[in-house]
Every structure is written in C-alpha cells, then in structure tokens.
Amino acid sequence: MGRAAADAPKTAAAPRASRTDAKPKKADGARELVEALVVAGVAALLVRGFEAQAFVIPTGSMAPTLMGRHKEVACPQCGFVYTVNASEEVEGPSPLRPIYSGVCVNCRHQARNLNDAPSYKGDRILVSMFPYDLPDLPGSSPPERFDVVVFRYPEEPEVSYIKRLVGLPGETIRIDHGDLFVKPPGGDEFHLQRKPIEHQRGMQIAVYDDSHQPRALRDRAEWRRWTSDAGWKLAEPGASRYVLDAAAADWADLRYRHLVPEPEQWESLLDDRTPARGPRPTLVTDFYSYNTNLHAESSDLLHSRYGNQNAWLQPHWVGDLTLAADLDVQSDAGEVRLELVKGGVRHFATIDVATGKARLVRGEETLAEFDTPVRGRGSRRLEFANVDDRLTLLVDGRQVGGEGAEYDRGDAAPVPTAADLSPAAIAAKGAVVSASDLVLTRDIYYTQTPGYTDYGPVWGGVEPRRPSELFDFLADPALFKNIALARDEEYELGEDRFMMMGDNSPRSKDSRGWDSSDRSWDFLDRKSWEVPRSLITGKAFFVYWPHGVPFGPAIRVNHDLRVPFRPYVERMRWIR
C-alpha cells in the first residue's frame, strides 16, 4: 500500500507512483524554476526602471528651471522676490568672495549688502536612472527633445552634468536670434522648433509684475508702465488694478511701456531728485536677475569695471512674450482682447463676451477661432502667449483652442520697430471691464556662445561701455535694424549623438562651448558639441527640496542657516 494522499479519504489507498508518474513532476519543477526566474527578471527590470537617484544642483546653468547655489532676495523697492547666483562663493578662481549685490529683474533696483544674507544650496532633485535603457516600461521612452537629462560630461566622463536635450541624432541644429531651428536627418530645410506647451510655460522668465511697483516710482506718473489715454483709470496708486467704467464704441487700450530705470536714474530717484534724463521705453531683453551677482569691489554700476558687465550687459531683444491678467467683465456683451507685439506685427486674442467665441489674429489674418468659457459677467485669469511663432490662450490655467495657432513668418529674422517699445496691451470695446494683477514674462533666448553676446556684428565690434550706452541703443528705433546683422550658428549631429544646452543660456557651460581635447574614452570621431548616447544616464523629473524657508524669529545658527525653517512647498514641482 502506498502513502495516503493528504486530501484523500482515510479508507482509500493512494495509488503507487509509477516511473511515468514521476516524469511530469520533474518537468513541472523545471517549468516553475523558469517561471520564477522570469518573474524575478521582470521584477528586477521594473525596480531598475523606476529607480531614482537624488542629485544636488551645484551651479545656475539650468536656472530658472533648476537653481544652483543662490541667494533669494526680496527687492527693497518693489518687493519682488528674485534669485542671484552664489556658486562663486564656494567654487571658482581664488580668492573666493561673497556675493555683495544683485539687480531686480522687475524694477532694476540694485540690492546691496547681500553678503549678510544666507546662501542656499542648489535644488535637490530626483533623477530616474534608467528610463532611456528600458523605453518599453510605463513612463519611459527614448531620449526626447526638451527632456532635462543627466549625462557624463564628454571632456571629463567621471563628472555628471544636467542640461536640457535640444538636438537628436542626425539633425542639424541652428541657433538664430535666440530660437532653435532643426533640419531633420536627410532634410534640406530648417524649421523652427516649438516647445510643448507645458515646457513653454515652465521655462518663462519674468519681465514685469505690476503687483510689485517700486515705492520710489508710485507717485511719479511718468514712470507708470501701464497707461491709457482711452478711459482706463488706475484704481489706486501702487495697486495693479485698472478700471474701464464706461463702455467704449471703439477699442479702448491699456498699454504697457517697457520703462526701465537706468542706474543713474535710480541714484537720483533714491535721493528724491528728478533724474537728468527722463524715462524712455526700451526693448525687452534677455535680462535675468540670476546673472547680476557682483562682489563688493565691482558693484558700482555707474562706472563700468571689468567683471560687472554681467549685471547690465544683457542686450538681446526678446519678442516672444506672454501676458497674463485677471479680467473682470461687468457687461453681458462687448469684446475684450489681449495684444502682443513682435517685430512691429500685432497679435491678438479677441473674445466676444456675449458668445465666448475667441479669435487668434496675426496682423489682419485670423489664425484660429474657438469657444471659451468667457461668457457674460465674471472674473477670469487670461494668459495669452506669442512664443515660437505660435499663439496660445489659457483661461483660468486651462488651455483653450487646442495647441494654439502656428504661423510662418518666413526666413527673414524679425526686427523690432518702435511698436516693440510698447509690446503688450489689454483692450475692451462695448464692455465695462477691470484688469488686475498684470504680469509680463518672456521666453528663453539661446545665445551663440556662453559668456558672450551675439551682438558683436550689431555694434560693429564695439560693445557698450556702460549701462547708459546700452539704453541708448535699446531706446532708439533707428538702430533696431542692425539687430538683423546678428549671425546664426549651426551644429551637425552624428548617429546616436545628442546636443545639450542649459536654460540659463548666457551662463551655461554646455555643447556650445566645449572642446574635444579628451577623447581617450571615445574611439569614434566626436564633434565637440556632441554627447554620445552611452553617456546619458538619467532623466530629471522632480524637485523634492529647493531649500528651507526661515520663519518666525529666524535664529542664525551660522552664516547660511536660519532656524526655524519650513519646506519650500511652493517650489516643489515636476521638472518640465
């Protein structure tokens, strides 16, 4: 009698195992082993695919997307909070010196004595280490344009860099007047490369936030940036609220002028004196507070010295702008519109209040028509952009009209005109409206070479020696035609090679500025700007700790640490 089966009745005898009965059991065991190995392998791939590694951003080459070591400054004049590069305090040529001053992007007031303020370490980010090696896993893909990637620096492969991927294998990349153009593999023509909307919004840089008006200018009407001679009234001095309290038969404009005080003018204004030279509108440029860091010995902007040009010589005209405002419509009918000017051409987002129908218009040409939730009375946040030759409209943070309306401006580079000195406006016709919290931002301008301007040919090789000379150029429409003389630069990419650039283009050590002296690791012919696929190691996806924000008594533990502090939740975000 054989041994009874575990689940068999006690009165029943288990059948005796035969030789043929044993063979399937061995096969089953082998199959289970194989299945276990397969499951373990799949699990390992999943774990590997979702593995994340933490990095700290050391420098400001990816600002404003990712901050390196920096100081955070609340402007003493307008209260706008901006950041200033402080990486030179811990790395760079000796002797290391503290950052003493920075210039506010919003009002151009120079804040001093920043050496007493804490410096914060760079953003802490999470990087997915294998999304490109396992592209079939959920959330993974091959390297894509505008990804923020971690890679090994080709000239020093043991060092990791983080930049934005802008060029793909086989393409030719052209940088022209701040924009990226791409000629595909085997193609004959370059095409402007438009950023996805989420990247476009995430890469915007401040131009002017009307909610932060400088104290020294609030009672000086000649310095007001938003003005109107068509019925709009300022609700109260210092407040970003403008009222059109009577419906107009024709378009009534509230227009922005880019009035930026020069250093000499700020000196007079702070002494409560009228500047010798009055306000004059200038072109919007690629000015960015992050790059205005100066040491004490070079912080006098009234006298140009070697090393302080970065605080004022940011000259490149930027025509790709975004206008946002809270619009409170108090009528059941009429029209409202937002306007942006680039190269003398006016672009509109016009909405019929009665029906909610919107039109995107370039010059006299209607590019798109669609429905919006802007119907009848009510307050909405409108955001109108003209970026990468595409018009887009958002209502209360939601995109309307699909991906926007693209247009082709031809091969000629855009040249600003006198109209670009007042590049934005809000208008209404047949409606009672108020506008508040007006904000103007700009797109990134990609320069040809890090650390240098593109405007050598524009100035005939003689660049401005002091801020007033730069303002003379930016305020004179007769000189604007020279901007067309700025040259372009092309970069051809080989098979399985990529191009990387930093969002802080003027101060980024990236593909544009590398050499190709170190090739011991690479036996192939690598152009200096190329990053081989084998060196790309991960994709950045989340800022999990920008820095701690002091609050309460702010007890000073050391120069850079104040307690208590809270997490900087406002800047914890997905990386676009």
- Confidence (pLDDT) at 302: 86
The span from the first CA to the last CA of the chain, in angstroms, equals 73
- Confidence (pLDDT) at 98: 95
Cβ distance 320 to 386 under 8 Å?
Answer: yes
CA 440 vs CA 150, 190, 204, 338, 424: distances in Å = 31, 30, 10, 12, 8
- For 470-501, give the secondary structure using H, E and C: HHHHHCCHHHHHHHHHCCCEEEECCCCEEEEE
Distance CA 103, CA 290 (A): 8
Pairing between strand 160-167 and 148-152? antiparallel
- Confidence (pLDDT) at 20: 35
Q: What is the pLDDT along the chain (576 residues), one digit of tens a residue?
A: 333 333 333 333 333 333 334 444 555 666 566 555 655 554 444 444 457 889 999 999 999 999 999 999 999 999 999 999 999 999 877 788 999 999 999 999 999 999 999 999 999 999 998 778 776 666 678 899 999 999 999 988 999 999 999 999 999 999 999 999 999 999 999 999 999 999 999 999 999 999 999 999 999 999 999 999 999 999 988 899 999 999 999 999 999 999 999 999 999 999 999 999 999 999 999 999 999 999 999 999 987 666 788 899 999 999 999 999 999 999 999 999 999 999 999 999 999 999 999 999 999 999 999 999 999 999 999 999 999 999 999 999 999 999 999 999 888 888 999 999 999 999 999 999 999 999 999 999 999 999 899 999 999 878 999 999 999 999 999 999 999 999 999 999 999 999 999 999 999 999 999 975 544 555 557 899 999 999 999 999 999 999 999 998 889 999 999 999 999 999 999 999
- Confidence (pLDDT) at 523: 52
H/E element holding 46?
A: helix 19-49
Residue with tokens 């081989």: 532
Task: Give, to the nearest 10 degrees, the angle between helix 263-270 and helix 467-474.
Answer: 110
Cβ distance 260 to 315 under 8 Å?
Answer: no
Q: Maximum distance among all alpha carbons in the chain? A: 117
- Confidence (pLDDT) at 14: 38
- Confidence (pLDDT) at 516: 56
424-429 sheet: strands from edge to edge: 226-227, 252-256, 424-429, 335-342, 345-352, 357-362, 365-371
Strands (E), 210-356: 226-227, 233-234, 241-244, 252-256, 321-329, 335-342, 345-352
Provide the 8-state DSSP code for 484. G
- Confidence (pLDDT) at 18: 37
Cβ distance 422 to 229 under 8 Å?
Answer: no
Backbone angles phi, psi at 374, to 5 degrees: -85, 85
**pTM, full prediction:** 0.89
CA 217 vs CA 87, 222, 260: distances in Å = 33, 9, 11
Distance CA 327, CA 319 (A): 24
Give the tokens for residue 181.
């153009």
Omega before 196 within 30 of 0, i.e. cis:
no
- Confidence (pLDDT) at 1: 36
SS3 474: helix
Distance CA 412, CA 361 (A): 21
Cβ distance 48 to 134 under 8 Å?
Answer: yes
Distance CA 331, CA 244 (A): 11
- Confidence (pLDDT) at 366: 98
SS3 202: helix
CA 251 to centroid of chain Cα atoms: 33
- Tell me which amino acid residue 468 is: S
C-alpha count within 13 angstroms, C-beta hemisphere, residue 422: 15
Query: Which residues have CB under 8 Å from 278's CB, separation 6+?
Result: 222
CA 349 vs CA 294, 325, 391, 395, 425: distances in Å = 41, 13, 8, 12, 11
C-alpha count within 13 angstroms, C-beta hemisphere, residue 435: 28
Distance CA 2, CA 204 (A): 81
H/E element holding 552?
A: strand 548-558
Cβ distance 150 to 539 under 8 Å?
Answer: yes
Give the tokens for residue 338.
């937002």
Give the tokens for residue 254.
């509230």
Cβ distance 514 to 526 under 8 Å?
Answer: no
361 forms beta bridges with 348, 366
Cβ distance 353 to 375 under 8 Å?
Answer: yes
- Confidence (pLDDT) at 38: 55
Distance CA 211, CA 239 (A): 6
H/E element holding 264?
A: helix 263-270
- Confidence (pLDDT) at 526: 85
Residue with tokens 């605080």: 311
Residues 428, 430, 436, 440: what is their CA dihedral angle, to the nearest 10 degrees? Answer: -10
Residue with tokens 């592209």: 135
Evaluated on CA atoms 561, 566, 567, 568, the torsion sign reads negative
Q: How many residues does the chain have?
A: 576
Give the tokens for residue 33.
């082993």
Give the tokens for residue 112.
């001093």
